[in-house]
Amino acid sequence: MKAVIALGSNLGRRFDTLQGAVDALFDAPGLEFVAVSPVYETDPVGGPEGQKPYLNAVVIAETKLQPSMLLERAQSVENAFGRVREERWGPRTLDVDLIVMGDTVCDDPVLTLPHPRVHERAFVLVPWAQVDPDAEVPGHGSASALLAGLDQSGVRLRPDLTLQVPD
Rg (CA), the chain: 15
Catalytic residue among 14, 27, 43, 97: 97
Count of CB atoms within 10 A of residue 32's CB? 12
Residue 86's pLDDT band, with cuts at 50, 70 and 90, is: low
CATH of residue 75's domain is 3.30.70.560
Q: Does 76 fall in a domain? A: yes
- Which pTM value belongs to this model? 0.94
Within a domain: residue 167? Answer: no
Query: Among the options 83, 132, 151, 156, which is catalytic?
Result: 83
**Residue at 89 is within a domain:** yes
Residue 32 scores a pLDDT above 90: yes
Which of 23-37, 73-87, 103-117, 146-160 has the lowest average pLDDT?
73-87
- Residue 166 belongs to some domain of the structure: no
Most confident of 5-9, 45-49, 107-111: 5-9
Task: Look at residue 164 and tell me if it is in a domain.
Answer: no
Q: Is 151 among the catalytic positions?
A: no
For 1-15, the pLDDT digits (tens) are: 999 999 999 999 999
Please say whether the beta carbons of 85 and 43 come within 8 A. Answer: no
Q: Which H, E and C letters describe 2-66, residue by residue?
A: EEEEEEEECCCCHHHHHHHHHHHHCCCCCEEEEEECCCEEECCCCCCCCCCCEEEEEEEEEECCC
147 lies in which domain range? 2-157
109 found inside a domain: yes
What is the number of structural domains in the chain?
Answer: 1
Q: Within a domain: residue 138?
A: yes
Catalytic site includes residue 83: yes
Catalytic residue of the set 95, 134, 160, 167: 95
Let me know if residue 165 belongs to a domain.
Answer: no
Annotated catalytic, 95? yes
